[in-house]
Structure 1
Amino acid sequence: MNNYILSFIKKFDHFFVQKEISNIIFLHDEDDDERLDHVLFLEKDDGDVIGLYIRGMNPIISMNRLNDLDDFNLFASYEELFECKENFKLKIEYLALCFSTQYNELFGLYLANNDASSSIFILFLHDEIYVEKDCSKYDARRMLEKRFSAEGFITYEKKYETDWKQVSF
Structure 2
Amino acid sequence: MNNYIISFTKKFDYFFEQKEISNIIYLHDEDDNERLDHVLFLEKDDGNVIGLYIRGMNPLISVNRIYDLDDFNLFASYEGLVESKENIKLRIEYICLFFSSEYNELLGFYLSNNDASSSLFVLFLQDEIDVKKNYSKSDASKVLKNKYSTEGYITYEKKSESDWREMKMECQQ
Q: Any gaps of 5 or more consecutive residues in structure 1?
A: none
- Please report the RMSD computed on the Cα atoms of aligned residues, expressed in angstroms: 0.5
1:127 has 2:150 as partner: no
Q: Give the CA deviation at 1:139.
A: 0.6
Q: Could you tell me which residue of structure 1 aligns to residue 118 of structure 2?
A: 118
Alignment of 1:96-107 (within 5 A): 96-107=96-107
Q: What's the secondary structure of 1:51's corresponding residue?
A: strand
Q: What's the secondary structure of 1:34's corresponding residue?
A: coil
Amino acid at match of 1:148: Y
Inter-partner Cα distance in structure 1 for 2:150 and 2:58:
19
Q: What's the secondary structure of 2:121's corresponding residue?
A: strand
Residue-by-residue CA offset, 1:17-73 (whole Å, 9 max, x unaligned) = 000000000000011111000000000000000000000000000000000000000
Q: Give the CA deviation at 1:113.
A: 0.3
Q: Could you tell me which residue of structure 1 aligns to residue 138 of structure 2?
A: 138
Q: Give the CA deviation at 1:149.
A: 1.2
How high is the TM-score relative to the length of structure 1? 0.99
1:7 has 2:7 as partner: yes
Q: Give the CA deviation at 1:80.
A: 0.5
1:156 has 2:156 as partner: yes
Which runs of at least 4 in structure 1 moved beyond 4 Å after TM superposition? none
Q: Could you tell me which residue of structure 1 aligns to residue 147 of structure 2?
A: 147
Inter-partner Cα distance in structure 2 for 1:146 and 1:31:
36
Q: Give the CA deviation at 1:150.
A: 1.1
Q: Give the CA deviation at 1:89.
A: 0.5
Q: Any gaps of 5 or more consecutive residues in structure 2?
A: none
Q: Could you tell me which residue of structure 1 aligns to residue 16 of structure 2?
A: 16
Inter-partner Cα distance in structure 2 for 1:163 and 1:99:
17
Amino acid at match of 1:85: K
Q: What's the secondary structure of 2:126's corresponding residue?
A: coil
Q: Give the CA deviation at 1:158.
A: 0.4
Q: What's the secondary structure of 1:71's corresponding residue?
A: coil
Q: What's the secondary structure of 1:138's corresponding residue?
A: helix
Amino acid at match of 2:159: K
How high is the TM-score relative to the length of structure 2? 0.97
Q: Give the CA deviation at 1:8.
A: 0.4
Inter-partner Cα distance in structure 2 for 1:21 and 1:80:
26
Q: Give the CA deviation at 1:138.
A: 0.6
1:46 has 2:46 as partner: yes
> How many residues are aligned here?
169
Inter-partner Cα distance in structure 2 for 1:103 and 1:144:
16
